[in-house]
Amino acid sequence: MRIKRLLIPLIASALFSCKEKRAKVENKDLQPSATDTVETVAAAPPEEIKTDTASLKKSESIQSGELETEQHTVSYDFAFNKFPSANYKFIKKAKLDFSSDEGAYNFRTRIKEAYAAGSPDFASYYITVIFGCGASCIMGMMVDVRDGKIYSLPLGEETSCLFAEDRAIFNVDSKLFIAGICKESPEAENVYYHAFVWNEEKKAFEKVDEKVIK
């Protein structure tokens, strides 16, 4: 019995010592190492990089200016003033008269919409309606706001060209109508024109020579 009494304190002391060592080891594991500290510093967010916004805007404006210059390099100076139309004060539109052109009724929806939304844009009295008719082809009509009569524009297959620089050039103050500016090929430097003048008395377009339109 005496031996047992002596062993019990020894065993208890040994168990307490083991627990104390285990606690020290666990506490040591929980403390951050030097490596962990380095990694934490490295992961800090980078400093904000300052950008010169003024320089960027200047660069953008230069590029934009260059593009605008390129887009406006092609220009044609036609003598619209040689064929002036009458001075006319537009007040209201007459009712459309589809009986004035036998083919106009086939395009009645386009004509009605353009006529309702538009105002005279050719030769003082006429509202034009222009639309596509296939590859490299456009066609159109014009309506006289005074009486609603419809007339065909000099467009379509006869005045179309495969390599067109521009088409349907006109204005409200002139009777000159440039149907097309054409080239023989994309690389060709020379151009030729399909040009017409509206004869108000005859109600017809008359072809004119290239020399008189420049």
Tokens 């950008």: give the residue. Answer: 51
**pTM to 2 decimal places:** 0.63
Residue 9 pLDDT: 53
The domain tally of the chain equals 2
Residues 112 and 157 in one domain: yes
| Residue 48 covered by a domain | no
Is 28 in the same domain as 81?
no
Same domain, 5 and 110: no
Measure the CA–CA gap between 176 and 212, rounded to whole angstroms: 11
Domain extent for 94: 75-213
Contact 127, 142 (CB under 8 A): yes
Residue 53 is assigned to a structural domain of this protein: no
Q: Are 21 and 92 found together in one domain?
A: no
Q: Do residues 110 and 169 both lie within one domain?
A: yes
pLDDT in tens, the chain (214 residues): 444 455 555 555 555 454 454 544 444 444 544 444 434 434 444 444 444 443 333 333 333 333 333 333 344 689 999 999 999 999 999 999 999 999 999 999 999 999 999 999 999 999 999 998 777 788 999 999 999 999 999 998 888 787 878 889 999 999 999 998 888 888 888 888 999 999 999 999 999 998 889 8
Q: Tell whether 135 is covered by a domain.
A: yes
**What is the 3-state secondary structure of the chain?**
CHHHHHHHHHHHHHHHHHHHHHHHHHHHHHCCCHHHHHHHHHCCCCCCCCCCHHHHHHHHHHHHHHHHHHHCCCCCCCCHHHCECCCCCCCCCCCCEHHHCCCHHHHHHHHHHHHHHCCCCECCCEEEEEEECCCCCEEEEEEECCCCEEEECCCCHHHCCCEEEEEEECCCCECEEEEEEEECCCCCCCCEEEEEEEECCCCEEEECCHHHHC
Same domain assignment for residues 87 and 183:
yes
Angular region, 136: left φ>0, alpha ψ -120 to 50, beta rest: left
- Same domain membership, residue 192 and residue 93: yes
Q: What pLDDT does residue 121 have?
A: 98
64 domain-assigned: no
Residues 119 and 203 in one domain: yes
Report if residue 188 sits inside a domain.
yes
Flag whether 55 is in a domain.
no
| Residue 57 falls inside a structural domain | no
User: Is the same domain home to 2 and 90?
Assistant: no
Which residue do the tokens 């403390």 mark? 31
Compute the Cα dihedral for 183, 74, 211, 121 and give only its sign: positive
Token pair in block for residue 173? 């103050």
